């Protein structure tokens, strides 16, 4: 039986959510409205909602449809239609092309051999869309500047809208994007950021990867304290958000493990504090002060505080009302080298089942080994001091600005 365009889109969403390369974007698929319409030639987005032309979907194979869906999703991730509105006001077509050049290269990098996705083509087999290696590493503003210096041929780029402002295979509805109020724009930005952070946690659980570009989108311009609080609250919230303690039954049958809305408080946090020589001192004071604030705001049932260097030197347990008095009563231990492989080993040995694990460290490890995190079945957050090049073996990274 032939699937309708709506069914194909839903099936492709599920397929991408199951793939560890693309599960990062799972939450973004659910933001905004997705619909199939008759009156657009290809696809269109206002940066939140996505419309697909019925005839265009029918012309694409499954790999091309997957690429198209990721393309529209990446526009959401980067909030292109609000962040680069100033480019649109200068030259609509070049603004469209600049945004597309950036994301199409990144999408190709996720699957360079076209095993799961491939760029759409026209009826002559010519590739639709803007892609060129010379723009690698640039953002939309840099690509826009290059396009101004060397304008593309009139009407170039393939499919798009009939408004003279499109190049590539989708329309960018800048006008609709500009109609939202500042308050609505801020809320949308928070929803997108939250979806990416949950997607990064899911990628960690599935042993997937988060691209450098997405890491930069999440980390460098974000106050790490706010980001850490938001992550903990996301895990802890009731029905307004979701929890990783139970999985969403809608997707479990497809081997997709997504958080499900459920009213429970955050249970246990494992807080793994690096007390090696390089971190001991002011960074410890700085972090523990923030932990106190998080404990008071999220009120977990318990905190397992692990002090570690090359081994777990101390394990302190705070339960109930003791959690809010942690900083006043804790006694740090350690002072040797740095070998975080002791953390997952200790968690498995003690049979601990935390709701999340937070590690504070400078990311400079003995033998450069981070350990085997298999079996630690919860979100993992690495709070890193100083080491901007740190890559987590699993989980999401937040960078702490040194004082």
Q: What is the pLDDT of residue 394?
A: 83
Residues 314 and 224 reside in one and the same domain: yes
Residue 396 in 3-state DSSP? strand
Residue 186 in 3-state DSSP? helix
Highest mean pLDDT among 187-191, 386-390, 392-396: 187-191
Q: Which CA distances in Å does 157 have to 43, 134, 377?
A: 14, 16, 45
Residues 34 and 153 reside in one and the same domain: yes
Give the residue, 121 or 249, on which the prediction is more confident: 121
Q: What is the pLDDT of residue 237?
A: 55
Q: For residue range 196-238, what is the model confidence (pLDDT) as tens digits?
A: 888 888 887 777 777 777 777 765 445 666 777 677 766 765 4
Q: What is the pLDDT of residue 59?
A: 94
Per the structure, the count of domains in the chain is 2
Within a domain: residue 210? no
pLDDT at 401 over 50: yes
Q: What is the pLDDT of residue 360?
A: 85
For the chain, give the longest Cα–Cα distance. Answer: 72
Give the residue, 103 or 299, on which the prediction is more confident: 103
Residue with tokens 């996505």: 50
Assigned token pair, 15: 């397929």
User: Which range marks the domain in which residue 118 is found?
Assistant: 5-180
What does the alpha-carbon distance between residue 52 and residue 307 come to, in Å, rounded to a whole number? 52
| DSSP output for 106-140 | HHHHHSTT-SS----B-TTSPBPS---GGGTT--H
189 pLDDT band, cuts 50/70/90, is confident
Does residue 258 contact residue 202 with C-beta atoms inside 8 Å?
A: yes
What contacts 86, CB < 8 A, 6 or more positions away? none
Q: What is the pLDDT of residue 154?
A: 53
Least Cα distance to 17 among 224, 255, 176 occurs for 255
Within a domain: residue 199? no
Q: Can you give the pTM of this predicted structure?
A: 0.58
Q: Which CA distances in Å does 91 have to 82, 101, 130, 278?
A: 15, 15, 16, 51
Within a domain: residue 195? no
Residues 157 and 25 reside in one and the same domain: yes
Least Cα distance to 396 among 379, 376, 378, 371 occurs for 379
- Percent of the chain, pLDDT > 70? 80
- In this structure, of 35-49, 133-147, 148-162, the range with the lowest mean pLDDT score is 148-162
Q: What is the pLDDT of residue 61?
A: 95
Q: What is the pLDDT of residue 225?
A: 67
CATH of the domain at 384: 3.40.50.410
Within a domain: residue 211? no
Residues 38 and 104 reside in one and the same domain: yes
Residues 165 and 223 reside in one and the same domain: no
Residues 37 and 103 reside in one and the same domain: yes
Least Cα distance to 371 among 352, 388, 400, 392 occurs for 392
What does the alpha-carbon distance between residue 38 and residue 54 come to, in Å, rounded to a whole number? 6
Residues 165 and 281 reside in one and the same domain: no
Residues 168 and 223 reside in one and the same domain: no
Residue with tokens 């997952």: 344
Q: Which CA distances in Å does 368 have to 363, 390, 402?
A: 9, 11, 22
Within a domain: residue 249? no
Q: What is the pLDDT of residue 262?
A: 46
Residues 156 and 231 reside in one and the same domain: no
């Amino acid at each position: 039986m032939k699937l309708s365009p709506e069914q194909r889109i839903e099936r492709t969403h599920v397929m991408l959510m199951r793939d560890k390369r693309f599960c990062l974007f799972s939450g973004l698929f659910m933001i905004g409205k997705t619909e199939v319409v008759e009156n657009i030639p290809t696809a269109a987005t206002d940066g939140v909602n996505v419309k697909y032309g019925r005839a265009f979907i029918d012309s694409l194979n499954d790999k091309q449809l997957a690429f198209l869906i990721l393309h529209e999703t990446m526009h959401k991730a980067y909030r292109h239609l609000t962040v680069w509105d100033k480019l649109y006001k200068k030259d609509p077509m070049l603004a469209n092309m600049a945004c597309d050049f950036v994301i199409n290269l990144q999408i190709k990098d996720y699957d360079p051999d076209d095993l799961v996705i491939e760029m759409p083509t026209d009826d002559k087999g010519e590739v639709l869309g803007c892609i060129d290696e010379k723009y690698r590493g640039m953002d939309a503003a840099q690509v826009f500047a290059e396009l101004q210096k060397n304008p593309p041929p009139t009407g170039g780029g393939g499919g798009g809208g009939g408004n003279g402002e499109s190049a590539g295979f989708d329309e960018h509805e800048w006008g609709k994007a500009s109609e939202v109020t500042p308050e609505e724009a801020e809320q949308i930005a928070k929803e997108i950021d939250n979806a990416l952070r949950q997607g990064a946690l899911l990628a960690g659980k599935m042993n997937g990867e988060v691209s450098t570009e997405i890491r930069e989108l999440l980390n460098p311009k974000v106050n790490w304290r706010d980001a850490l609080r938001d992550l903990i609250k996301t895990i802890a919230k009731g029905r307004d958000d979701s929890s990783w303690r139970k999985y969403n039954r809608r997707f479990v049958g497809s081997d997709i493990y997504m958080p499900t809305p459920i009213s429970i408080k955050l249970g246990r946090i494992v807080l793994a504090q690096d007390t090696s020589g390089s971190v001991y001192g002011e960074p410890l004071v700085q972090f523990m002060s923030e932990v106190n604030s998080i404990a008071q705001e999220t009120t977990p049932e318990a905190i397992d505080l692990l002090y570690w260097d090359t081994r777990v030197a101390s394990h302190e347990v705070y339960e109930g009302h003791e959690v809010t008095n942690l900083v006043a009563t804790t006694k740090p231990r350690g002072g040797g080298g740095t070998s975080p492989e002791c953390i997952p080993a200790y968690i498995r040995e003690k049979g601990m089942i935390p709701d999340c694990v937070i590690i504070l460290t400078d990311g400079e490890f003995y033998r450069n080994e981070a350990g085997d995190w298999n079996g630690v079945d919860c979100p993992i957050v690495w709070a890193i001091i100083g080491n901007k090049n740190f890559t987590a073996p699993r989980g999401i990274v937040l960078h702490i600005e040194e004082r």
